[in-house]
Structure 1
Amino acid sequence: MIVSHKHRFIFVAIPKTGTHSVRHALRGHMGEEDMEQARLFVEKSFPIPEIARMGHGHISFAEVRPFLGEEAFQSYFKFAFVRNPFDRFVSYCAFATSREGSFDRDPKRVMRHFLFTAPPMNHIIFRPQHLFVTDQGGSLQADMLGKVEEMQASYDAIAARIGVPTTALDHANRSRRGDYRDYYDQELIDGVAKIYARDLALFGYDY
């Protein structure tokens, strides 16, 4: 997450949505009083103990809201990036098994494990995307949602909105896999559609 008092924005970094590229682009425009919390590539923590103790940078709007005050939260421009849940789930499976390489050897077995045998519902990267950008009642809190599928155009629009020059995004932590649809059969499609049903509906994605 980044909270910029200088440019009056809140950026929620949903896992597996190109957040490192966006963070890198935004850092050059941050003021002295701005805050960032991150753990990969750069170690930064909010000067708010309750947030710093979370130990990761994927903080939701709902989690940060009590510490910013209602005036700031309501008036600051709030944005995030989202990704097709079918594509994001493939990315999660590859990431979660990267050390042993099991996804490369048998991707469908790994996908079935995480969908049906032992869904890691408490893992921050597995968590549905809508939980980062909605309130307790399920209402969307973001003013703008960029999409990974049109990353540069989305960032250009966001940069214009917050009043900073745009820049070409880098590709930090990018994978080299092919089309996500190459990894699915109908059972897996149905499994992802069930777990991430709210993401699919809220963000306008399908298989």
Structure 2
Amino acid sequence: MIISHKYRFIFIHCRKVAGSAIKTTLWPHLGDDDIMIGSLDEVLQRGGSLNRAARRVMWHPHALNVTRKAMFERWRHGDTSRYRNLVNTAVKARYRRSLFRNPVHPPAESVKAMFPHEWENYFKFCFVRDPHDQALSEYSHQRRNSGGEFDFDYFLKALTGEVEDQDITPSGLISNWPLYTIDDRVVVDRVGRYESLEQDFSWLCKRLGIPHEGSLLEEKVEKHRRKRSLKDWYDAEGVERVRALYEDEISYFSFPSPLVVEK
């Protein structure tokens, strides 16, 4: 999530919708007091530096234990991946109690409660993705992180609770619907689409007055792009499981089943 006082916007970071690419692309343009939760490890890895808001947040009482570990790591070993991850974790720790257990992807209601002035006065936007595609992206992410060999069908069963496997279910919310809705009503000013990511992101930058040329930083997207088409991953039962998990999003945006053949 980003709260930008410089450009007066709130970016809601939905799961598996190129949010990290959006945040790392926006970071060089943000102001010193703008707040970004998540992806700071990637900013540092790309040679960026922390702004004043991030440095201040790291010394908040809720973040202090993790910050000490980060400082010790940097003192002993320099700018390592562990140091960068600890910095990112420290900032998330500061907001975990007051915003959400996974503050990178907080529900809209929590953001509104913590930042009431910004919520009422800033431009709010997010990006959404076809849940059938999103579920596959989540599956790939969980397999990489866990090192497991489970298949996609098993993964969907774990998400729906048909099998119990806490090691592969994502942290926080599964559906993105609560991130940009309150009482089942969309409350952001603009919903971009993953399927038209570059076009929609360019429109937003123009709308907000943010300098943007070229493409989003999408190395991760390209690296893990699937070689099989979406319909090759699904059968009727898989489609039903995804519909049960993401029913609101599928209904609101009219996402089609990957098994439907377009004429």
CA distance in 2, matches of 1:126, 1:61: 12
Decide whether aligned partners of structure 1 residues 92 and 126 sit closer, same or farther in structure 2, where only a CA change above 3 A counts.
farther
Structure of greater relative contact order (alpha carbons < 8 Å, 6+ residues apart): 1
Matching residue of 2:46: none
Provide Cα deviations, 1:23-69, integer angstroms capped at 9, x if missing partner: 01111111111101115635272775744784541223221212222
The structure 2 residue matched to 1:176, chosen from 199, 215, 225, is 225
The structure 2 residue matched to 1:107, chosen from 130, 134, 152, is 152
Provide Cα deviations, 1:88-136, integer angstroms capped at 9, x if missing partner: 1111122112243425xx433433443432487x84466111111011x
Provide Cα deviations, 1:117-174, integer angstroms capped at 9, x if missing partner: 2487x84466111111011x11111100111111100101111111112231121432
Alignment of structure 1 residues 153-172 onto 2, 5 Å? 153-167=199-213, 168-172=215-219
Matching residue of 1:117: 163
Decide whether aligned partners of structure 1 residues 52 and 198 sit closer, same or farther in structure 2, where only a CA change above 3 A counts.
closer
Q: How many residues align?
A: 202
Alignment of structure 1 residues 61-80 onto 2, 5 Å? 61-69=108-116, 71-80=117-126
Matching residue of 2:9: 9
Task: Select between 164-173 and 152-161 the one with higher mean Cα deviation.
Answer: 164-173
TM-score norm. by structure 1 comes to 0.85
1:129 aligns with 2:191: no
C-alpha contact (below 8 Å) 1:81/1:147 kept by paired residues? yes
1:59 aligns with 2:106: yes
Matching residue of 2:20: 20
C-alpha contact (below 8 Å) 1:16/1:125 kept by paired residues? no
CA distance in 1, matches of 2:248, 2:149: 29
What is the identity, as a one-letter code, of the residue corresponding to 2:200? S
1:142 aligns with 2:143: no
TM-score norm. by structure 2 comes to 0.69
- SS in structure 2 of the partner of residue 206 of structure 1: coil
Identity of aligned residues (%): 23
Which protein has the bigger helix share? Answer: 2
- SS in structure 1 of the partner of residue 202 of structure 2: helix
RMSD after superposition: 2.5
CA distance in 1, matches of 2:118, 2:103: 23
Unaligned runs of 5+ in 2: 44-87, 258-263
Shift of 1:72: 2.5
Give the greater-gyration-radius structure (CA). 2
